[in-house]
């Protein structure tokens, strides 16, 4: 969609959307005065440092530095683009969105997309009802029960069944006002010369959703011996198989909570593990993992574990996927299943305890590849060990670091009966390659990617937070908070200052932005605009706005911190002049400037002392 959402619609959304209500869906909030506090949903913490100011529509975490409004919260929490977050809020709070015209038909394209999404949603409900409420659905129900899948997990993932018959969905859709062209565009109708018919008939239906939970296609599995075993929606504007992960919408919070994603091959693997209580699981849908799918996972965590079928195809898929992950700077792990099992079998037969035992034995992708290399050679013979040695050396050359190689060397040496000298030879012969570091969408203390694609860094723990301990930074921050609390009184004081009065670089940028907006006709609205900046400075403005308390940051506090800024600036300016005087290198002009600054310093200190009386 190329049109932009009109500012009037965004303003209406900000007025209508209840930030406290939205955030309460992710963490428990306790009201303290006019504000709310709770544990931060963006990082692990035991003491609440997360503050929500519903009257201002802002949140800020004093632990990790995340802050913003209801749009930025959903963007960070759900890894959405700005438009996606706005659309989700608009639907939730019943606010119509208007778009600026762009690209000759943006509104029509958006409307057409919404129609297809509505059609796919209704098709999902149709298949679900047919599974659970019709007599014809009994075969599919028996199949699911026979595989050990209970109704609750099937309903969570919205599993359904397509009825037999050539035009059952077609007839229902036309009754509800949809056109054949829309059914075809949604991948639900097959058109051949002189006839059209439903694409999916007599199959278990697995809705394929994007990370927002919108159905964009289907995977249909045969219940009997029909061929093909799996039939997917055709590729189109909404459905692109290599850009989706089955179950990501249901798993996204669990992935972030446990800081790991478990990747399996198929739909039923996801269902089986979810039923066993393993919620951080997604499926690559049987295809070779793509970079886009990997990027989707690493929005939530950099820790990727593969749990593929215990057969040759599954092992090869794990190795291919693992190599792709390593190329992105990750260190993927592999769960080894008993021969002949798939994840769904392991979960439904042994439950959560069995899955926990299996995942506890996970190995690195390097270790997994080495084990397979050793297993295929006869290590009881000298020739077999030499051949294995050569193959192992090639595998080790792909290690991302020396540490990764060393973690496996001890096992290799034992299996190959190598001497210490041979081990050293292996290490010297396998220099690690440098790889680029992968980034994730949301991580405590890490970076996130904004809707524009720009990398956004949270306040550096060793920079800004460390700087707060210095007297200069404390005064600077308190002045800025007081200025935001009293914009009218701040104007004449800000005009007497320059960027040089601020030591901390973030404070300096904030002052520059603040001084620009205070002279605006509507300073209050301009200040709100600063809190919407998707940057470190924008988040700091959020912090200032959240911290404002008229009972503490009064006009008197503003005047006092203004004087202290002047005092600190004079002291900094006088320091080199005094050193020159002590060293005997100060000329007459330097001595004059030192006297003038000292006089001004004493005047400022006199004013400060009067305020303390």
| pLDDT for residue 31 is more than 50 | yes
Tokens matching residue 111: 């409307």
pLDDT tens column, 191-213:
999 899 999 999 999 999 987 78
Decide if 31 contacts 123 (C-beta within 8 A).
no
The whole-number average pLDDT for the span 319-347 is: 88
Q: What pLDDT sits at residue 224?
A: 81
pLDDT (0 to 100) of residue 278: 93
With b for 16 or more beta-carbon neighbours within 10 A and e for fewer, the 329-343 pattern comes to ebbbbbbbbeeebbb
Tokens of 527: 């200040």
Percent of the chain beyond pLDDT 70?
Answer: 82
pLDDT recorded at residue 535:
60
- 263 pLDDT higher than 90: yes
Residue 109: the pLDDT is 61
How many other CB atoms are there within 10 angstroms of residue 144's CB atom? 22
Torsion of CA 281, 286, 290, 292, to 10 degrees: -50
- Rounded CA-CA distance 210/246 in Å is 8
The mean-pLDDT minimum among 115-129, 172-186, 508-522 falls in 508-522
Question: Which whole number is the average pLDDT over 12-36?
Answer: 88
pLDDT (0 to 100) of residue 438? 40
At 56-113, the pLDDT tens digits run 888 988 888 788 889 989 888 877 788 888 988 998 898 988 877 654 455 556 678 8
pLDDT at residue number 426: 55
**Of 78, 536, 66, 444, which is closest to residue 52 (Cα–Cα)?**
66
Query: Residue 183 above 50 pLDDT?
Result: yes
All domains of the chain, ordered by start, with CATH? 7-92 (3.90.580.10), 106-239 (3.90.980.10), 248-361 (3.40.1360.10), 464-612 (1.10.860)
Q: How far apart are CA 215 and CA 366, in angstroms?
A: 37
The confidence band for 449, taking pLDDT boundaries of 50, 70 and 90, is very low
Least confident range of 10-24, 405-419, 454-468, 472-486: 454-468
Q: What is the pLDDT of residue 434?
A: 39
Sign of the dihedral through C-alpha 590, 596, 602, 604:
negative
d(CA 234, CA 239): 7
- Of the candidates 149, 184, 99, 420, the one whose C-alpha atom is nearest the C-alpha of residue 267 is 149
Is the predicted pLDDT of residue 2 greater than 50, yes or no? no
Buried residues in 212-237 as b, exposed as e (16+ CB within 10 A): bebbbbbbbbeeeeeeeeebbbeeee
- Ranked by mean pLDDT, which of 130-134, 224-228, 396-400, 463-467 comes out on top? 130-134
- Stretch among 152-161, 437-446, 592-601 having the lowest mean pLDDT: 437-446
Q: Cβ distance 445 to 458 under 8 Å?
A: yes
Tell me the backbone φ, ψ of residue 52, rounded to 5 degrees: -125, 125
More confident: 299 or 231: 231
Positions of E strands within 160-233: 160-161, 189-192, 195-198, 203-209, 215-222, 230-232
551-588 residue pLDDT tens? 778 889 899 999 999 999 999 999 999 898 888 888 99
Whether 17 contacts 93, CB under 8 Å: yes
Q: What is the pLDDT of residues 108-165, one digit of tens each?
A: 566 788 899 999 999 999 999 999 999 999 999 999 999 899 999 999 999 999 999 9
Per-residue confidence (pLDDT) for residue 447, from 0 to 100: 34
Q: How confident is the model at residue 170 (pLDDT cuts 50, 70, 90)?
A: very high
- Predicted confidence (pLDDT) at residue 223 exceeds the cutoff of 70: yes
- pLDDT above 60: residue 454: no
pTM listed for this prediction: 0.64
Q: What average pLDDT does this structure show over 520-544? A: 60
Q: What angle do CA 139, 142, 143 make, to 5 degrees?
A: 85
Whole-angstrom Cα distance, residue 247 to residue 284? Answer: 9
The more confident residue out of 551 and 473 is 473
**Mean pLDDT calculated for residue range 40-61:** 86
E strand or H helix at 578? helix 555-583
| More confident position, 293 or 405 | 293
Q: Does the structure show a pLDDT above 60 at 370?
A: yes
Mean pLDDT of the chain: 81
Q: Mind spelling out the 3-state secondary structure of 311-361?
A: CHHHHHHHHHHHHHHHHCCCCCEECCCCCCCCHHHHHHHHHHHHHHHHHHC
């Amino acid at each position: 969609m190329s049109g932009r959402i009109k500012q009037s619609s965004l303003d209406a959304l900000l007025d209508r959307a209840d930030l406290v209500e939205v955030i309460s869906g992710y963490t428990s909030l306790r009201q303290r005065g006019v504000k709310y506090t709770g544990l931060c949903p963006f990082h692990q913490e035991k003491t609440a440092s997360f503050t929500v100011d519903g009257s201002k529509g802002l949140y800020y975490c004093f632990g990790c530095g995340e802050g913003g409004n209801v749009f930025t919260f959903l963007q960070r929490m759900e890894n959405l683009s700005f438009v996606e977050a706005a659309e989700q809020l608009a639907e939730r709070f019943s606010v119509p969105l208007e778009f600026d015209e762009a690209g000759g038909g943006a509104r029509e394209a958006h409307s057409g997309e919404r129609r297809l999404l509505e059609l796919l949603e209704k098709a999902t409900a149709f298949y679900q009802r047919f599974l659970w409420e019709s007599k014809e659905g009994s075969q599919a129900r028996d199949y699911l029960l026979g595989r050990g899948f209970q109704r609750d997990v099937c309903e969570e993932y919205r599993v359904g069944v397509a009825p037999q018959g050539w035009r059952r969905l077609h007839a229902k859709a036309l009754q509800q006002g949809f056109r054949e062209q829309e059914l075809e565009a949604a991948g639900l109708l097959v058109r051949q010369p002189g006839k059209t018919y439903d694409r999916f008939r007599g199959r278990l239906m697995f809705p394929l959703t994007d990370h927002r939970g919108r159905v964009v296609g289907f995977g249909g599995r045969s219940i009997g011996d029909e061929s093909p075993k799996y039939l997917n929606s055709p590729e189109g504007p909404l459905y692109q198989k290599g850009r989706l992960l089955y179950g990501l919408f249901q798993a996204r919070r669990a992935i972030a909570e446990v800081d790991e994603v478990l990747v399996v091959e198929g739909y039923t693997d996801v269902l089986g593990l979810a039923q066993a209580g393993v919620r951080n699981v997604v499926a690559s849908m049987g295809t070779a993992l793509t970079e886009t799918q990997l990027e989707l996972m690493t929005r939530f965590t950099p820790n990727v574990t593969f749990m593929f079928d215990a057969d040759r195809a599954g092992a090869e898929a794990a190795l291919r996927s693992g190599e792709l992950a390593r190329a992105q700077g990750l260190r993927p792990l592999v769960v080894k299943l008993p021969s002949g099992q798939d994840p769904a079998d392991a979960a439904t037969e042994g439950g959560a305890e069995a899955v926990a035992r299996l995942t506890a034995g996970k190995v690195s992708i390097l270790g997994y590849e080495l084990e397979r290399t050793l297993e295929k050679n006869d290590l009881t013979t000298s020739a077999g060990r030499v051949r294995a040695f050569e193959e192992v050396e090639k595998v080790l050359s792909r290690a991302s670091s020396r540490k990764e190689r060393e973690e496996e060397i001890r096992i290799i040496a034992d299996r190959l009966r190598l001497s210490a000298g041979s081990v050293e030879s292996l290490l010297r012969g396998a220099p690690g390659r440098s790889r680029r570091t992968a980034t994730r969408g949301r991580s405590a203390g890490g970076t996130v990617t904004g809707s524009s694609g720009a990398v956004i860094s949270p306040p550096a723990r060793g920079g800004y937070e460390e700087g707060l301990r210095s007297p200069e930074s404390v005064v600077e921050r308190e002045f800025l908070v007081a200025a935001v609390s009293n914009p009218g009184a701040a104007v004449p004081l800000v005009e007497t200052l320059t960027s040089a009065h601020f030591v901390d670089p973030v404070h300096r940028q904030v002052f520059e932005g603040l001084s620009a907006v205070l002279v605006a006709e509507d300073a209050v609205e301009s200040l709100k605009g600063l809190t919407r900046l998707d940057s470190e400075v924008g988040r700091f403005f959020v912090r200032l706005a959240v911290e404002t308390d008229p009972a503490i940051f009064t006009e008197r506090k503003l005047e006092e911190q203004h004087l202290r800024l002047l005092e600190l600036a004079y002291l900094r300016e006088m320091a080199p002049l005094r050193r020159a005087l002590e060293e005997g290198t100060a000329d007459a002009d330097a001595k004059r400037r030192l006297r003038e600054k000292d006089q001004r310093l004493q005047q400022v200190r006199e004013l400060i002392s009067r305020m303390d009386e």
